[in-house]
Amino acid sequence: MLYQYVACGESGDIVKGKISATSEDAITQMLGYAGYRLINLRPYVPFLSLGKLTAQLFPVKENDIIMLYRQLALLLESGINIVTSLELLQEQITNHTLKKVVHDVINDIRNGDQLSTAMSRHPNIFSTMSCRTLSIGEQTGGLETMLKQVADYMEKEIATRKGIKGALMYPMIAAVVTVVVVGILMLFVLPAFADLYGSLGAELPALTRIMIAISGLLRAYVLHIFLIIFIVIGLGLIYFRTSDGKYKFDTLILRIPLLGRVKHLNEIARFCRSISLLYTAGLPLTEIMPLVIQGCNNRVMAQALYNVQIDMLKGEGLSKPMAKNPLFLPMMVQMVKVGEETGTLDASLLAVAQNYETEAQDKTKSLIAMIQPIMTVIIAGIVGLIAISMVSAMYSMYGQDILTSG
């Protein structure tokens, strides 16, 4: 099987490449003989493959994978062997992609592979961290426990993402509605009133003249405006797909007032829970850090963790390198230090994760509660301004008629 690897030499140099081997342990040994320490390892997936195409046509939901883990743990606890358990689950799976993947996993197990090894051949479905955790469970005889812990971890991940999406959903919908309403008023309603006012020859208030002028510009250049917006969005999407663009976008996300704090707390809670899970499973920190970095969604946090890993490999531990970067909050650094000194790093990190998850949830609720009235005021203000400009013109005309008749 072909793998992609990242390794660190004795002098601190980083090397990347592809290597073919029968197992991950074999790669670790080969690189060790060459004087390199393995940092990151995952199965190589070509850019175009049948597996990728099938996964895009029939995407596997994370809830399906969680259910698979929980049901498999239940069947194993009841004494059913792993192949029979997977066959029973395969019959119940409705997703075409997941059904085929489970079929392949069963065949690999029958050919002598362990569950974690068979799953690692499908990195788009089963994450590297999950496979590594299950591998430890297989070695220690606690596969059922690890399956449930991985399922719990994934459920926390889903809940976190839903919270952030919930905070963003209302302002996005409100913004779209605002654009549509204002567009209708400026492109169709206001011009009709402008023609009426023009035919009457009335002197209009300054606000009405400004709004009519803006409406005229929009009508004259509406296609140009949409084209410019389309080009800007397209160029932005292209740039943010680059490595530099992704890093700057993630930096921007962390700096957004209120929302950035929620994102920051969720990222910290996520990698603290990840380290706790893998450390509890029995993995050393030298193997845990690459997996956590690989699973980090924010490039800024991933780079910060990578710097921590480099210092950790130099013998500085975990808390000392974290203290150098303000992204790692003081309470977390202190808890990590206590965990290192007392040998309870997994418990300390889990406590940190739970604390920051609770704080992130509270801030998310506050953010949603704050956004709704703010967006309502903004929409009302824009629509009200247009309405006032039309009504004030009517009152102005009425006043002029009275003066003329008088």
In this structure, the answer to whether residues 37 and 74 fall within a common structural domain is no
DSSP letter at 316 equals I
Structural domain contains residue 26:
yes
Q: What is the mean pLDDT of residues 48-62?
A: 63
Residue numbers of the domain that contains 128: 50-156
* Burial degree of 287 (CB within 10 A; 0-12, 13-18, 19+): middle
Coil vs helix vs strand at 201: coil
**Range from 50-64, 163-177, 288-302 carrying the lowest mean pLDDT:** 50-64
* Buried b or exposed e, range 375-397, using 16+ CB within 10 angstroms: beeebeeeeeebeebbebbeebb
Name every residue whose Cβ is closer than 8 Å to that of residue 314 and which is 6 or more positions away in sequence: none
Structural domain contains residue 274:
no
Average pLDDT value over all residues in the chain: 83
Examine the pLDDT at 270 and tell me if it is beyond 80.
Answer: yes
* pLDDT, greater one: 315 or 390: 315
So what's the pLDDT on residue 403? 47
pTM for the predicted model, two decimal places? 0.69
Domain boundary among 156, 173, 198: 156
Q: What is the mean pLDDT of residues 366-387?
A: 82
Q: What is the mean pLDDT of residues 247-265?
A: 88
Q: What is the mean pLDDT of residues 254-261?
A: 86
In this structure, the answer to whether residues 112 and 131 fall within a common structural domain is yes
Distance, CA of 334 to CA of 322 (rounded, Å): 10
In this structure, the answer to whether residues 16 and 60 fall within a common structural domain is no
Structural domain contains residue 331:
no
pLDDT (tens digit, 9 = 90+) per residue, 133-167? 888 888 888 889 899 989 988 888 888 778 777 77
Number of domains in the chain: 2
So what's the pLDDT on residue 245? 87
* pLDDT, greater one: 271 or 5: 271
Examine the pLDDT at 337 and tell me if it is beyond 90.
Answer: yes
In this structure, the answer to whether residues 57 and 143 fall within a common structural domain is yes
In this structure, the answer to whether residues 63 and 11 fall within a common structural domain is no
CATH code of the domain covering residue 82 = 1.20.81.30
pLDDT (tens digit, 9 = 90+) per residue, 216-234? 888 888 888 889 989 999 9
Distance, CA of 76 to CA of 214 (rounded, Å): 69
In this structure, the answer to whether residues 36 and 60 fall within a common structural domain is no
